[in-house]
C-alpha cells in the first residue's frame, strides 16, 4: 500500500511519501533507545509539562489539523475538530493523574510480615521503547490514547501509522517534538506494514500496541509472541445495540442513528447489530430507517454533512460485497443499499455509500458474522431477554455493547452475561480517559485509558527489604 494522502471525497491523490529505508529506521531506533535512557529517569512533573504543552499546541492548531484529517480519511470537519478536542482533554487528564495512578503501592502489614520483610513496596517503572501500529479511522485519537499514558509512564514511542494518513502521522511526531520532548521520545516512522516485523523484532523495542484489524493483530501478536514481547491489541467490533420493551424507543432510535453512522460507520465501537424486542420492533425499525434515510451524505468539509465518504475505495468495495451477499440471500433493504446519486460533480469519484438498514439477517449471510465498517445497520427481532442476550453474544467480537431498558432485572442480566469490554445503558458507547477501554474474544486483549491503560506498559517491580 503506497504511503499517500488520497482524498476520499474526490478520489484524488494529493500527496505521496517515500517510505523510510532501513538506514533511516535504524537511526530512529537508535534515537529512541538513547532517548529512553534519559527520559525514564525524568519526574512526573517534567513529563506532565511536555504533555500540557502538546495539549496547548493541539488546541491552538485544531482547525488546521482537523482539515488534514478530513482530507486524509474523510470524516466531517466537525467530527475531526471534536477528535482533536478529545485528545487535548486526554493529554491533560494523564498529565494531572499519572503520578497518582503510578504511585508506589504498599502491601498490607500482615502480608509484609508473612513474607519475612521489614518493608515492601510495588514500584511502577517504564518498559522502554513501545511500537504503536495505528489505524486511520481516528488518526489522532488512537495515537494519543496510547501516547499520553505511555509518555507519562516514562516510555518512549515509535509510531507506525496507517499508510493513508501520513500527514496526520507526521504532525503527531512534530507535535511532541515541539512540546519539548527529546527528539527520540516520540517518532513517526513512515514505513509500510511489511517493515513492521523487523522493527518489532529489534531488541531495542520492548513492546507493541496495535489498533486495527484481526489480521494485523494476529501478525503482530505472532511476532511478539515469538520474541516474548508484551502486546496490547485493540481489534474489530460488532457491537450489539439492544432495545427492550421498557426503553424510551424515541431516544433509542435517535441515538441508534448516531451510534451507527459516526465516522461514516467506521468505528470499532459503532453499534452494528440492532437487536430489538418484538414488542417495540416495528416502531423502532420504522423510525430508525426513516432517520437513516434522512441523513445528509456529502462533502465532509461542508458544515451540515452527517456522513462523509468511506476512507478508501477498498473499504467501500468490502462493504458493498457484504450488503450484496446479504441481499442475494434474502435480507430486506429498508433504506440505502447503494452509492448515493446526485452528488456534486467534484465528488463523483469519492468513496460514498448511503446509510443502509437491513433486516431478515440469517447466519449464512457474511454480514451476520463479519464487521460492517461503514454506515450499514442490521436489525434483528428477538422474542425475549434470553434471545436478546444470545443474539448479542453470537459474534466472535466482544468490544462494547449498548442496551436500552428501564428494567432493573434486564440491567442485572446484561451486566452479568454480555461478552464485551463495556455495557452502556440508555446511551451509546464512548471512550473517556478515566474509564478502561478494550475488548474480549477477537476484539483483542489488554486495556487502554484510565489506570489500566497506563499500567499495561509498566514493569510492576516488587521492592523488598529484609531488615
Ligand atoms: P488494518 O488494516 O489492520 O490497519 C491498521 C494498522 O495496522 C495500519 O497501520 C496498517 O498499516 C497496519 N497493518 C496492517 N496489516 C499489518 C501486518 N500484517 N503487519 C503489521 N502491520 C499491519 O486496519 P484498518 O482496516 O485500517 O482499520 C480498521 C480496523 O481497525 C477495524 O477492524 C476496526 O474495528 C479496528 N479498530 C479497532 C479499534 C479498537 O479500539 N478496538 C479502534 C479503531 C479501529 P498499513 O496502513 O500500512 O496497511
Same domain? For 91 and 111 the reply is: yes
How many angstroms is it from 217 CA to the middle of ligand 1? Answer: 8
Q: How confident is the model at residue 1 (pLDDT cuts 50, 70, 90)?
A: confident
Same domain? For 125 and 105 the reply is: yes
Q: Hey, whose CA ends up nearest to atom 9 of ligand 1? A: 162
How do residues 395-421 score in pLDDT, each as one tens digit?
A: 999 999 999 999 999 999 999 999 999
Measured CA to CA, the distance from residue 407 to residue 89 in angstroms comes to 34
* Tally of helices (H runs) and strands (E runs) in the chain: 16, 17
Measured CA to CA, the distance from residue 66 to residue 327 in angstroms comes to 37
Residue matched to cell numbers 448516531: 258
**Mean local confidence (pLDDT), 20-26:** 98
Does some domain include residue 437?
no
DSSP for 412-448, please give it.
HHHHHH--SS--EESS-----TTS-B--SGGGEES-B
Same domain? For 132 and 232 the reply is: yes
**Mean local confidence (pLDDT), 108-122:** 98
The helix-helix angle for 249-261 and 278-293 (nearest 10°) equals 50
Q: What is residue 36's predicted lDDT score, i.e. its pLDDT?
A: 98
Same domain? For 307 and 408 the reply is: yes
Task: For residue 360, give the 3-state DSSP assignment.
Answer: coil
Same domain? For 223 and 95 the reply is: yes
Task: For residue 330, give the 3-state DSSP assignment.
Answer: coil
Measured CA to CA, the distance from residue 199 to residue 337 in angstroms comes to 42
Q: Hey, whose CA ends up nearest to atom 40 of ligand 1? A: 234
Q: What is residue 28's predicted lDDT score, i.e. its pLDDT?
A: 98
Distances in whole angstroms, Cα of residue 340 to Cα of each of 286, 344, 352: 21, 11, 7
H or E stretch covering 279: helix 278-293
Same domain? For 261 and 226 the reply is: no
Same domain? For 341 and 452 the reply is: no
How do residues 357-403 score in pLDDT, each as one tens digit?
A: 999 999 999 999 999 999 999 999 999 999 999 999 999 999 999 99
Does some domain include residue 33?
yes
Max alpha carbon distance in the chain (Å)? Answer: 80
How do residues 266-317 score in pLDDT, each as one tens digit?
A: 999 999 999 999 999 999 999 999 999 999 999 999 999 999 999 999 999 9
Measured CA to CA, the distance from residue 464 to residue 467 in angstroms comes to 9
Distances in whole angstroms, Cα of residue 86 to Cα of each of 49, 195, 254, 261: 18, 31, 23, 19
pLDDT at 228 > cutoff 90: yes
**Mean local confidence (pLDDT), 217-245:** 98
Measured CA to CA, the distance from residue 185 to residue 173 in angstroms comes to 9
How many angstroms is it from 36 CA to the middle of ligand 1? Answer: 27
How do residues 338-356 score in pLDDT, each as one tens digit?
A: 999 999 999 999 999 999 9
Q: Kindly state if the Cβ of 212 falls inside 6 Å of ligand 1.
A: yes
Q: Kindly state if the Cβ of 136 falls inside 6 Å of ligand 1.
A: yes
Give catalytic residues, as residue numbers.
234, 268
Q: Kindly state if the Cβ of 234 falls inside 6 Å of ligand 1.
A: yes
Q: How confident is the model at residue 467 (pLDDT cuts 50, 70, 90)?
A: confident
How many angstroms is it from 368 CA to the middle of ligand 1? Answer: 21
Residue 284: give its domain's CATH number: 3.40.309.10
Q: Where are the alpha helices (DSSP H) in 75-187?
A: 77-101, 109-114, 141-152, 166-178
Q: Hey, whose CA ends up nearest to atom 43 of ligand 1? A: 268
| Claim: this prediction has a pTM higher than 0.75 | yes
Q: Which domain holds residue 418?
A: 239-396+400-432
How many angstroms is it from 219 CA to the middle of ligand 1? Answer: 11
Amino acid at each position: 500500500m503506497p504511503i499517500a494522502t488520497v482524498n476520499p471525497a474526490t478520489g484524488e491523490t494529493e500527496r505521496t511519501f517515500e517510505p523510510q529505508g532501513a538506514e533511516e529506521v535504524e537511526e530512529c531506533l537508535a534515537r529512541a533507545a538513547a532517548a529512553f535512557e534519559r527520559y525514564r529517569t525524568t519526574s512526573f512533573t517534567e513529563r506532565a509539562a511536555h504533555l500540557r504543552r502538546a495539549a496547548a499546541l493541539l488546541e491552538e492548531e485544531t482547525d488546521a489539523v482537523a482539515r488534514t484529517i478530513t482530507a486524509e480519511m474523510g470524516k466531517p470537519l466537525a467530527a475531526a475538530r471534536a477528535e482533536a478536542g478529545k485528545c487535548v482533554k486526554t493529554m491533560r487528564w494523564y498529565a494531572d493523574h499519572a503520578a497518582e495512578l503510578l504511585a508506589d503501592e504498599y502491601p498490607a502489614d500482615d502480608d509484609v510480615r508473612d513474607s519475612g520483610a521489614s518493608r515492601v513496596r510495588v514500584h511502577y517503572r517504564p518498559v522502554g521503547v513501545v511500537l504503536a501500529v495505528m489505524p486511520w479511522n481516528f488518526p489522532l485519537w488512537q495515537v494519543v490514547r496510547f501516547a499520553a499514558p505511555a509518555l507519562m509512564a516514562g516510555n518512549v514511542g515509535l509510531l507506525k501509522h496507517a499508510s493513508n494518513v501520513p500527514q496526520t502521522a507526521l504532525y503527531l511526531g512534530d507535535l511532541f517534538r515541539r512540546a519539548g520532548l527529546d527528539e527520540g521520545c516520540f517518532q513517526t516512522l513512515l514505513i509500510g506494514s511489511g517493515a513492521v516485523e523487523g522493527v518489532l523484532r529489534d531488541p531495542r523495542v520492548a513492546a507493541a500496541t496495535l489498533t486495527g484489524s484481526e489480521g494485523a493483530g494476529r501478525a503482530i501478536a505472532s511476532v511478539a509472541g515469538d520474541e516474548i514481547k508484551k502486546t496490547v491489541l485493540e481489534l474489530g467490533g460488532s457491537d450489539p445495540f439492544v432495545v427492550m420493551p421498557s426503553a424510551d424507543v424515541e431516544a433509542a432510535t435517535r441515538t441508534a442513528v448516531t451510534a451507527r453512522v459516526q465516522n461514516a460507520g467506521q468505528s470499532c465501537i459503532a453499534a452494528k447489530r440492532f437487536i430489538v424486542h418484538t414488542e417495540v420492533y416495528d416502531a423502532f425499525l420504522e423510525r430508525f430507517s426513516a432517520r437513516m434515510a434522512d441523513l445528509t451524505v456529502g462533502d465532509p468539509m461542508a458544515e451540515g454533512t452527517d456522513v462523509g465518504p468511506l476512507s478508501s475505495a477498498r473499504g467501500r468495495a468490502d462493504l458493498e460485497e457484504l450488503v450484496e451477499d446479504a441481499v442475494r440471500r434474502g435480507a430486506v433493504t429498508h433504506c440505502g443499499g447503494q452509492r448515493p446519486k446526485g452528488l456534486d460533480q467534484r465528488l463523483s469519484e469519492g468513496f460514498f455509500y448511503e446509510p443502509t438498514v437491513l433486516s431478515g439477517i440469517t447466519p449464512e449471510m457474511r454480514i451476520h458474522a463479519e464487521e460492517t465498517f461503514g454506515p450499514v445497520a442490521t436489525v434483528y427481532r428477538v422474542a425475549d431477554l434470553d434471545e436478546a442476550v444470545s443474539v448479542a453474544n453470537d459474534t466472535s467480537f466482544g468490544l462494547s455493547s449498548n442496551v436500552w431498558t428501564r428494567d432493573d432485572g434486564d440491567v442485572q442480566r446484561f451486566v452479568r452475561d454480555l461478552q464485551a469490554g463495556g455495557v452502556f445503558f440508555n446511551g451509546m458507547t464512548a471512550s473517556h480517559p478515566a474509564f478502561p477501554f478494550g475488548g474480549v474474544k477477537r476484539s483483542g486483549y489488554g486495556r487502554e485509558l484510565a489506570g489500566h491503560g497506563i499500567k499495561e506498559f509498566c514493569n510492576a517491580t516488587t521492592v523488598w527489604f529484609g531488615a
